[in-house]
Amino acid sequence: MKTLFLFLLACAAAFAEAPDDRFEKAKRAMSDSDYGEAAYQLRELVSESNFSHGALHNLGNAEWKVVRPGHAILAWERAALINPRDTNTAANLAFARHKAELPSPALSWTESYSTWLSPNVWLAAASLGFWGGVMLLTLPRLLGARRADWHQGIAALSLTAFLFTIPALFGLSRRGNLGVALEDATPLRLTPTREGEELVKLPAGELARVEKERGNYLYVRADGDRAGWVRREEFERIWSRR
């Protein structure tokens, strides 16, 4: 039985499409104006936990074309997370917010600072800066060698670089709470219940911060201090720590 299961699993793996194939297929569908098919292919990619900047950018475009602005903005936000320097993705986000008359997300300075580079670049810089500095300061002593001036100079530089990454890491941590309202008129409820009183409605694509979680509900706060409980399926974080 176990052998049969493993065999079936192997077969499924063999028949599963490679991410690049799906990406190309979606691109062709977009070229043929078959946006529904393109969106389907790219959604499948994402549901299989295959993320790339290009796939998410194109997913945003496809979702926009099939009039799912919330999902489009989520995809572009994710694409911008992977490659914050891509001007096309930034332009699309600006375009979508302009069209949907959504406010620009109000980010603190640490959060804005953290958008300069992708999260993993910040982490790599922080790790290298910290451990490089520490190593240069400690290794000569531990290895019984004399600590040279250049050791100290480079250590100072490394630690300075590390210090510069700290606000970005803080901002990055805060950005982990950001999410997007997926459907239009997403209700923010007074209580995390099915029949909770609707306090306000968020338009599709608006960004909000998750402050609390309870069961199937998230307590989110949007621009203008609009806060309330929202169902998980109506709101999705750009990325989650879990």
139 binds other proteins (CB under 8 A): yes
Please give the Cα distance from 110 to 103 (Å, whole number): 19
112 binds other proteins (CB under 8 A): no
Report the residue from 143, 149, 150, 224 that binds other proteins according to the rule CB under 8 A.
143
Q: Considering only the stretches 7-15, 127-135, 155-163, 177-185, report the one whose residues sit in contact with other proteins under the rule CB under 8 A.
A: 127-135
* Residue 208: strand pairing partners: 179, 222
Under rule CB under 8 A, which residues in 34-63 are in contact with other proteins? 49-55, 57-58, 61
Q: Which residues of 72-105 are buried (b: 16+ CB within 10 A; e: fewer)?
A: bbbbbbbbbbbbbebeebbebbeebbeebebeeb
Binding mask 67-106 for other proteins (x = CB under 8 A): -----------x--xxx----xx-xx-xx--xx-------
User: Do the beta carbons of residue 100 and residue 205 sit within 8 Å?
Assistant: yes
User: Do the beta carbons of residue 217 and residue 230 sit within 8 Å?
Assistant: yes
User: Do the beta carbons of residue 238 and residue 205 sit within 8 Å?
Assistant: no
Smallest gap, in angstroms, from Cβ of residue 3 to other proteins?
28
3 state SS of 11: helix
Smallest gap, in angstroms, from Cβ of residue 196 to other proteins?
5
Binding mask 185-224 for other proteins (x = CB under 8 A): -----xxxxxxxx-x------------x-x----x-----
Q: Considering only the stretches 7-15, 23-31, 178-186, 200-208, report the one whose residues sit in contact with other proteins under the rule CB under 8 A.
A: 23-31
115 binds other proteins (CB under 8 A): no
User: Do the beta carbons of residue 54 and residue 26 sit within 8 Å?
Assistant: no
Strands of the 178-181 sheet, one edge to the other: 198-202, 186-189, 226-231, 217-222, 207-214, 178-181, 235-237
Q: Minimal CA–CA distance to 66: which of 86, 42, 89?
A: 42
Size of the site for other proteins (CB under 8 A): 64
235 binds other proteins (CB under 8 A): no
Chain Cα centroid distance, residue 22: 21
Please give the Cα distance from 34 to 113 (Å, whole number): 38
Smallest gap, in angstroms, from Cβ of residue 4 to other proteins?
27
Smallest gap, in angstroms, from Cβ of residue 128 to other proteins?
11
Binding site for other proteins (CB under 8 A): 19-20, 23, 27, 30, 49-55, 57-58, 61, 64, 78, 81-83, 88-89, 91-92, 94-95, 98-99, 119-120, 122-123, 127, 131, 134-135, 138-139, 142-144, 169, 172-173, 176, 190-197, 199, 212, 214, 219, 227-228, 238-242
